[in-house]
Amino acid sequence: MTQHPPTRLIDPCNRHLNYLRVSITDRCNLACAYCLPREAVPRLSHETILRYEETLRIVRVGARLGITKVRVTGGEPLVRRGVYDFLAQLRRMPDLRDISLTTNGVLLKENLDRIRAAGITRLNVSLDTLRPERYRSITGMDHFDRVWEGILAAQAAGFHPIKLNAVAIEGVNDDELVDLARLSLAYPFHVRFIEFMPIGRSQFAGKPTLLVPEIMQRLAALGPLIPVPRSELDGPARRYRLEGARGEIGFISAISRHFCDRCNRLRLTASGQLRPCLLSDFQVDLKGPIRRGCSDEDLAELFFQTIRHKPSDHNLSVGEPAHVCCQMRSIGG
Ligand code: SAM
């Protein structure tokens, strides 16, 4: 019997991979302590970073294989020249149903029109604290007001949903969890608490992770968390709402409660490596073959090769963190 090549990205655990997170740069205008070590990390050379047309080609091949959802991330995506045109080109790909952007928000306010003109309406903004002084100590920059103004301006401009991502870290911002969650009462934001993951080198390496069950307990002061039913395009966050809230609260428990069994993600790094799992260092090089003139069929085969290596489960367990060598900012968080 003739064996037909596969046409869809279904891995050996029967997970349908339809979500590609694309890091377009490893450059960032912040230096968050949980993302970077104190010493300088060498940056990717210009040549090493995929050109936009190369990234678009990879996404196009992925879309033929069933990718419908793309998130553009980094590094900080808004620092890369040409990003708005790139977003608009992604938006024009007919098979993509959901395109979103993750940003630290520093350049948000002055670029909202360009983001909207590119057709993007869904934003994730990282915000780990509501205190300007603490913001500076976490990120190394005095940009809290700029970011907050950008978030409010995005809301006024009709972006929805706006997800505010906070990495919850004991002794860093754990005394603000209630204040951050309370934002969902006053604003239609989706406040999401993320467990700190031991990825690459960072100033918080070795710190115990504040786990979601503990975070939820600390929010008890705000009243019951009412579960929000899952919808088709939902990611791994478990979603809740406070009584009478305009927004939501979500929890991403990458460590305490693996969501590997329903993980639908692949990641394309800024240097053109396709990774089947954020928490493993396995990757397949797409840039080399592209620059040597490979065909779209060859690229599709590299997608299939990658997904054959998607681990059934990550190997990080509570209390004994393993280490992922590649820096978060080049994989794309
Ligand atoms: N510059 C953009 C931003 O700040 O949102 C996109 C890139 S950043 C690497 C993406 C997300 O990864 C951010 O929400 C950040 O908080 C999160 N992140 C970075 N390092 C992390 C870590 N070690 N554990 C958990 N989340 C992390």
pLDDT for 102 equals: 98
Asked whether 192 lines ligand 1 (CB < 6 A), one says: no
Give pLDDT tens digits for 48-84: 999 999 999 999 999 999 999 999 999 999 999 999 9
Q: Quick one: pLDDT band at residue 37, thresholds 50, 70, 90?
A: confident
Which residues, at least 6 apart from 264, have a Cβ–Cβ distance to it below 8 Å?
15, 16, 17, 18, 19
Structure tokens given for 182: 């309370």
Domain-embedded: residue 146: yes
Asked whether 264 lines ligand 1 (CB < 6 A), one says: no
Indicate the number of domains in the chain. 1
Asked whether 84 lines ligand 1 (CB < 6 A), one says: no
Give pLDDT tens digits for 172-205: 999 999 999 999 999 999 999 999 988 777 888 7
Q: Quick one: pLDDT band at residue 2, thresholds 50, 70, 90?
A: low
| Amino acid identity, position 38 | R
Q: How far, in Å, is the centroid of ligand 1 from the Cα of 78?
A: 14
Q: Quick one: pLDDT band at residue 3, thresholds 50, 70, 90?
A: low
Q: Look up tokens 């290596």; give the residue.
A: 309
Asked whether 101 lines ligand 1 (CB < 6 A), one says: no
CATH number, position 103 = 3.20.20.70
Instruction: Name which of 60, 57, 55 is nearest 94 in CA terms.
Output: 60
Asked whether 34 lines ligand 1 (CB < 6 A), one says: yes
pLDDT for 143 equals: 98
| Residue bearing the CA closest to ligand 1, atom 25 | 196
Q: What is the CA radius of gyration of the chain?
A: 19
Asked whether 139 lines ligand 1 (CB < 6 A), one says: no
Q: How far, in Å, is the centroid of ligand 1 from the Cα of 206?
A: 17
Q: Is 28 exposed, middle or buried (0-12, 13-18, 19+ CB in 10 A)?
A: buried
Helices (H), 239-307: 287-291, 296-307
Query: Across the chain, which distance is largest between two alpha carbons, in Å?
Result: 67
Domain-embedded: residue 6: no
User: Is the peptide bond between 161 and the residue preceding it cis, with omega within 30 degrees of 0?
Assistant: yes
Task: Give the ligand 1 atom nearest the CA of 254.
Answer: 25
| Residue bearing the CA closest to ligand 1, atom 4 | 104
- Is the distance from CB of 33 to CB of 202 less than 8 angstroms? yes
pTM: 0.93
Q: d(Cα 298, Cα 281) in Å, to the nearest integer?
A: 22
Domain-embedded: residue 3: no
pLDDT at 321 > cutoff 50: no
Q: How far, in Å, is the centroid of ligand 1 from the Cα of 242?
A: 25
pLDDT for 236 equals: 82
Domain-embedded: residue 36: yes
Domain-embedded: residue 2: no
Structure tokens given for 150: 């950008």
Asked whether 105 lines ligand 1 (CB < 6 A), one says: no
Of 29, 30, 35, 146, the one to substitute when testing ligand 1's pocket (max ligand atoms within 8 A of C-beta) is 35
Q: What is the rounded average pLDDT of the residues 35-56? A: 93
Instruction: Name which of 66, 74, 144, 49 is nearest 105 in CA terms.
Output: 144
| Amino acid identity, position 203 | Q
pLDDT for 320 equals: 46
Domain that holds residue 200: 19-331
First vs last C-alpha separation in the chain: 43
Q: What is the rounded average pLDDT of the residues 121-147? A: 97
Asked whether 138 lines ligand 1 (CB < 6 A), one says: no
Reported residue count of the chain is: 333
Q: d(Cα 303, Cα 268) in Å, to the nearest integer?
A: 11
